[in-house]
């Protein structure tokens, strides 16, 4: 017996599929978190942080996993101040200086390998499939992306995915995430190193520095 509640039916389906494949609740939580990165991009994703509160029935332990994002190593005390020492409006919220080092990928790998039963590649498979095949834009996604579009409009990658031809996606449109699929495949193959080292890490650092 299991109960799953998520913000999107495809995320719930990902959890159900993993439980049916022999995974436990921890595997399902990883599958759901990864799926939400695809179907709820305005509120969830690999680029941020995450928390999980776990209960291990076999020994009664309560466990809190903190995968909050952290400041970059090159962050400085005054990086958000102008020449006069005054805070720059919005600099801590949007744009390259607001980017932290994501914690969610490390959290997903930790959760799967420490508490799950199934291989990470199998647990991430539903999210990879959604990202490659595409998902239909819901009303919630349309509104969420519209809320974020003004802040992210200067991002070529955001525009290419969510503002095709300069117009925001609307309910019923299909959105594919091939880059996200490739990133999830790297994590599935190499664990933490698939995100925090190698090609993905270089692209993230180079992109923020260029911006």
pLDDT of 174 reads: 96
* Mean pLDDT, each 10-residue run in order, the chain (211 residues): 93 98 96 97 91 90 95 90 92 88 97 96 98 96 86 81 89 95 97 96 93 87
pLDDT of 149 reads: 79
pLDDT of 87 reads: 93
pLDDT of 22 reads: 97
Q: Do strands 61-67 and 135-136 pair parallel, antiparallel, or not at all (unpaired)?
A: unpaired
| For helices 178-190 and 25-39, angle between their N-to-C axes, nearest 10 degrees | 150
- Name every residue whose Cβ is closer than 8 Å to that of residue 180 and which is 6 or more positions away in sequence: 37, 38, 46, 131
pLDDT of 34 reads: 97
């Amino acid at each position: 017996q299991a109960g799953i509640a998520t913000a999107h039916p495809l995320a719930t389906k990902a959890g159900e599929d993993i439980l049916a494949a022999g995974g436990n609740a921890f595997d399902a939580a990883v599958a759901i978190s990864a799926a939400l990165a695809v179907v709820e991009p305005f509120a969830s994703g690999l680029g941020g942080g995450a928390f999980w509160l776990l209960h291990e029935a076999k020994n009664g332990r309560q466990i809190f996993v903190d995968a909050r994002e952290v400041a970059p190593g090159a962050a400085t005390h005054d990086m958000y101040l102008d020449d006069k020492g005054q805070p720059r409006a919005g600099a801590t919220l949007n744009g390259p200086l607001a980017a932290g080092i994501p914690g969610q990928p490390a959290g997903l790998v930790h959760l799967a390998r420490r508490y799950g039963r199934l291989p990470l590649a199998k647990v991430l498979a539903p999210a990879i499939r959604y990202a490659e095949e595409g998902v239909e834009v819901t009303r919630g996604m349309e509104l969420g992306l519209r809320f974020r579009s003004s802040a992210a409009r200067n991002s070529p990658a955001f525009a290419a995915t969510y503002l095709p031809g300069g117009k925001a996606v609307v309910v019923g449109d299909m959105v594919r995430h091939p880059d996200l699929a490739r990133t999830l495949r790297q994590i599935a193959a190499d664990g933490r190193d698939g995100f925090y080292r190698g090609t993905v890490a270089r692209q993230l650092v180079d992109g923020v520095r260029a911006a």
